[in-house]
Chains A and B, each alone.
Chain A
Amino acid sequence: MRTIFSLLSIIFISCMSCAQQTESEVKAETPTAINYITEVVVPDLNIPWGMGYLPDGSMLITEKTGELIHFKNGVKTNIEGVPDIYVRGQGGLMDLKLHPNYKNNGWIYISYASPEGEGTGGNTAILRAKLDNNTLVEKELLYKAEPNTKGGRHWGSRIEFDNEGYLYFSIGDRANRDVNPQDITRDCGKIYRLSDDGSIPKDNPFINTANAKTAIYSYGHRNPQGMVKNPITGNIWVNEHGPQGGDEINIIQKGKNFGWPVISYGINYDGTTFTDITEKEGMEQPLFYWVPSIAPSGMTFISSNIYPNWKGSILVGSLKFEYIERLVLENNKVVKREKLFEGIGRVRNVLEAPDGYIYAAIEGKGIVKIIPEN
């Protein structure tokens, strides 16, 4: 009897600790023909993270290790005056975004792991500056998350502007899952909104909440590394890494709680669970979740006529499976997923440039351009 009881206990405990995950309903397929190929336009980069297109057609590229590169007429020039970068784990020099009115005001926005402030280690910072020849000038630190830690994970760091000119950026939970994301008096695990000069908009959701970090726009995020404005609705879309399973696409809404880690479709890396629930009142459901994880980084909407068959869908880079995923949407629901360019390498970023072409940043390779086959 006792043996049976022990056996039952063991079975019960095993079932509890190794959760069954529900796979994504729509599975990623390999298309038969895609009619597009990739061409390397900027070779020999290690971890290209952020990309920006200047009005003269040249390009600014960040390398995670801390170099800001100006690529013009086939020549790479390192920009001087980059702030002090804390290269640690997943952190370093990360995203780069030009002001929507760059042509007239010249502002460049960057996100990076910064050692600035009290305590050893670092946390995510947002800075704007202008380019004078090959040097960053008029540098203004707009935001620096606290506290500094020596942890290497979850810096977030994508930057985007909406149609009103507000500046959005993501900061990951810094791997402090149970402390940061659900607490709006703390940084990390949040999407932030600032005016383009770094001031806090008067209608930010927690502007009157005692002790809140008033730059917060939404919370309960894990590690968002893709962020893009929907060109039709103007909404801000993000994708974020889950742990093992449970990567998500979310449409950001003011003051909303996106649930991490109270609700999640993911489990711990060792197969154990940290939550039993995937939904809860007061917490937003993702537009889409990935099980298994693809490790999404970078995201873009296809609006260009260069890709008629793809128009209206979104592209997401996969670090883990080394392809670009195309997600077809109908009424804000993912109805089809395709794996493009399988084996291309770890895709860190993907965007549609002002010239209408799609470019992707591939680790260990460089920047590739997606062009029609003929």
Chain B
Amino acid sequence: MRFIIVSLTTLITVIFINTNQNNQPQTDPLKESIKRGHEIYTDFCVSCHLPSGKGVEKVYPPLANSDYLKKNREASIRGIKYGQKGSIVVNGKTYNGFMAPMGLSDDEVADVMNYITNSWGNKNDKIVTEEEVAKIKK
């Protein structure tokens, strides 16, 4: 009896895992990009924008639930790629700091954009690609 149960369980598990793999191939480009983007975020962004993405009031604008990030996809990419200077309004508050260009390559900018637009409650299904970043000029 026990043998049958164990076998059945194993069988069902195997089927379940297989079906899952079929439905969601492991190489989901957005998921992979977000994963790489998380590492970039930890290295280049976290000391100012913090793990929570909330930033520091009046100094470093929030990324979490940021209306700026949601509405200004191109300007956000440009800011990460070339640096951010001049005043911007984020969630009703004005920020007039300077973020240096980080020296990230286009694929790294895409990855970190995919991470920040899909974290802390942010949602963006339209993946940012290396090609899209490459096209954005100063």
Binding site for B on A (CB under 8 A): 46-47, 64-65, 86-89, 91-92, 151-153, 175, 269-271, 320-322, 345-346, 363-364
Contact = CB atoms under 8 A, between A and B. Distances in A.
B100 interface: yes
A86 B59 CA distance: 27
Contacts of A152: 43-44, 102-103
B85 interface: yes
Interface of B: 43-44, 46-47, 50-51, 56, 59, 83, 85, 97-98, 100-103
Contacts of A153: 43-44, 47
A89 B50 contact: no
Given A269-B46, A320-B56, A89 B102 contact: yes
B5 to A, nearest CB: 25
A64 B101 CA distance: 10
A350 B33 CA distance: 40
26 contacts: A46-B83, A46-B85, A47-B98, A47-B100, A64-B100, A65-B100, A65-B101, A86-B103, A87-B103, A88-B102, A89-B44, A89-B103, A91-B103, A92-B100, A151-B43, A152-B43, A152-B44, A152-B102, A152-B103, A153-B47, A175-B43, A269-B47, A270-B51, A363-B97, A363-B100, A364-B98
Contacts of B101: 65, 87
B56 to A, nearest CB: 7
B103 A88 contact: yes
Contacts of B98: 46-47, 346, 363-364
A196 to B, nearest CB: 31
A269 B54 CA distance: 12
Given A152-B103, A175-B43, A322-B59, A364 B85 contact: yes
Contacts of A46: 83, 85, 98, 100
Identify the interface centre among B47, B83, B85, B97: most chain A CB within 10 Å of its CB: B47
B105 to A, nearest CB: 10
The main secondary structure of chain B at its interface with chain A is loop
A46 B102 CA distance: 13
Given A46-B98, A64-B100, A89 B43 contact: yes
A87 B83 CA distance: 12
Nearest to B83: A46
B51 to A, nearest CB: 4
A70 B100 CA distance: 21
A360 B102 CA distance: 23
Contacts of A270: 51
Nearest to A343: B58
A359 to B, nearest CB: 19
A210 to B, nearest CB: 33
A65 B102 CA distance: 10
Contacts of B102: 88-89, 152
Given A153-B47, A363-B98, 10 more contacts: A46-B83, A65-B100, A65-B101, A89-B43, A89-B102, A152-B43, A153-B43, A320-B56, A320-B59, A363-B97
A89 B83 CA distance: 11
Contacts of A363: 97-98, 100
Identify the interface centre among A152, A175, A345: most chain B CB within 10 Å of its CB: A152
Nearest to B60: A320
A346 B85 contact: no
A346 B97 contact: yes
Contacts of A320: 56, 59
Nearest to B84: A364
Contact of A269 (B51, B83, B85, B97): B51
A270 B102 CA distance: 22
A9 to B, nearest CB: 24
Contacts of B59: 320-322
A281 to B, nearest CB: 31
Contacts of B83: 46
**3 closest residue pairs by CB, A with B:** A364-B98, A88-B103, A87-B103
Contacts of A47: 98, 100
Contacts of B43: 89, 151-153, 175
B23 to A, nearest CB: 32
Identify the interface centre among B97, B100, B101: most chain A CB within 10 Å of its CB: B100
